[in-house]
Chain A
Amino acid sequence: MGKATETDLPGVGVRFELETNAGRCVGVVVHQTGRRDLVVYDERDVDRACESVVLTEDEGHTLGELLGGNPVLEHLDDAVHRLEDLVISWITIDSKSPLAGLTLAEAELRAKTGAGVVALVTDSGSIPIPGGADRLEPGGTAVVVGVPAAVRAATKLLNESG
């Protein structure tokens, strides 16, 4: 994940910026008014914004979505939300996983890893708060909650490539 820096602009707003691997600098100025400036820095004078495009708040969101790909898919792929020590993760159930196709009761995921399954998502729909008879369908997604180590162990069991 790229590292961005943040600088206060008193009376204006905040400037965020990012240096790319290729050595270019890009930034975003978030104004107090909601306006966003998309800024590209000069290669010869790195302190100078050679291009500055003014965006409204909505345009900024749209551009953010374009740059970040489909935000929903992104969630399913790798989004891990950290709440203090609790981690929620979306794990794709690999068909090669030893637990693929088993019911939650048979899989004993909580006993093995300490992580609990709070939802199952398949092509046919989603099951919030699944019971012991619900199956870990290969290709589906398990939404798993636990401490980081437990979620990591669950990810390993369910998704061998992960």
Chain B
Amino acid sequence: MHTAGDLFVIELGAVVLVLAIVARLARRVGLPALPLYLMVGLALGDGGLVELPASEEFIEVGAEIGVILMLLMLGLEFSAHELIDNVRRSTLAGIVDIALNFPPGFVAGLLLGFDPIVAVLLGGVTYISSSGIVAKLVADLDRIGNHETSVILSVLVIEDLAMVLYLPIVSGVLFGGSLLSTTVTVIVSLLVVIAVLAAAYFFGDRLSAMALSQSSEALLLTLLGGTLLFAGIAGRLNLSTAVGAFVVGVALSGDIVSHARGLLLPLRNLFAAVFFVFFGLQVDLDLVPDVAVAAVVIAAVTIATKFATGWIAASRASIGKPGRVRTGAALIAHGEFSIVIAELGISRESDLGALAATYVIILTLVGAVFYQFSDSLTLRVPTRHHRSRWQRTSRLVQGVRRRR
């Protein structure tokens, strides 16, 4: 007996299996899987090779959960204290990053005749590197101990924080009404974000202790339920669900974090992949050739500007030339956040989806390859050794620390 349910399960199973094959392939050649997920999404659905009538609805809901879980896990990586310390230390790198990488997308958007607000979205797409992809590349290539890694991570953290302010602003403008009501919405939402972050800073420990449970089942349900509820409310208030989830992640600290990571990681992996497929599904494949030239040009410009950002940030931290090349190369990969931003404007401007997908695929592949081979480009250049070269970002440890 055939039911609609069977068809749904078959479709979903087939899509997930295709993703599995793609993920294995990516692993084999040492590339991030994200651009390949996007390609799968592009190839499926409207205008693609195969339509997914039964499972598209589920994929849409799954995509929403995917964004929330991605941002929750990202927030878990940091504590509020760490974020604030980091902003204090790397303000300049953060400013250079915005000044160099937001304008390319914004200007390109205006030139392409998009609405100003859609151009602002495209600016966001080109501004933000992928913390997820870059952090994974750094770890996979055994470069966590490298000196430039602290610089790379600092820039990524500032970008993530910038998103916490940027997303509520653009959602307010996109979904607001008149100029006055939009301004009020934006100001209110920013105040709410700051209030919630402050609450996370002061009461995060207590909240985490409350949520902690011996039973991993109870903990998973608490985390998932609490985050979905909070993110949903944040979305209702035009703060964006992504920001809501990120703030929950930041607020949680202490013992709960490592448990939460272990429990949420498999769910995150599944639903994040679903999100990228969903984004690709929404993009009409026929639009891609029209925007391909624009995507390549914007990609070429931001490869240069991101590289320059990394170079400048690393040289300020007294990193030698090979390290500066690695920093610049690491920051090129764009990913989840660019897609989350583009998703906001896809209903306003259908070209934005095709453009962002093509752009992210190009930058992620170029960035990953460039970062992997950055050492072979510079290995011949010896670096001089300065004695106190880490002073700017490092503290001197007094004596030897003893545990207990």
Contacts and interface: CB of A to CB of B under 8 A. Distances in A.
Contacts of A45: 320, 322-323, 375, 378-379, 382-383
Contacts of B400: 1-2, 4
- Among A6, A10, A17, A33, residue most surrounded by chain B Cβ atoms (within 10 Å): A10
Interface stretch (A46-54, A84-92, A135-143): A46-54
A4 to B, nearest CB: 4
Interface residues of A, number: 32
A162 interface: no
A77 interface: no
A23 B384 CA distance: 12
A39 B145 CA distance: 6
A118 interface: no
B5 interface: no
Contacts of A1: 399-400
Interface string A1-35: 11111111111100111010001000101001100
A3 B399 CA distance: 7
A1 to B, nearest CB: 6
A9 to B, nearest CB: 5
B330 to A, nearest CB: 13
B82 A46 contact: no
A46 B122 CA distance: 38
A160 B333 CA distance: 65
B213 interface: no
Contact of A11 (B143, B157, B322, B382): B157
A94 interface: no
A61 B402 CA distance: 11
A9 B85 CA distance: 11
B320 A7 contact: no
B148 A47 contact: yes
B145 A6 contact: no
A45 B145 CA distance: 13
Contact of B393 (A7, A11, A48): A7
B395 A5 contact: yes
Contacts of B319: 47
Interface string B71-84: 00000011000110
Given A10-B86, A47-B383, A37 B397 contact: no
Contacts of B258: 32-33
A11 to B, nearest CB: 4
Contacts of B393: 7-8
B396 interface: yes
B167 to A, nearest CB: 20
30 contacts: A1-B399, A1-B400, A2-B400, A5-B390, A5-B397, A7-B394, A8-B82, A9-B149, A10-B77, A10-B78, A10-B83, A11-B77, A12-B149, A12-B153, A17-B390, A32-B258, A41-B145, A45-B379, A46-B147, A46-B320, A46-B385, A46-B389, A47-B147, A47-B320, A47-B322, A47-B383, A48-B322, A48-B323, A48-B375, A49-B142
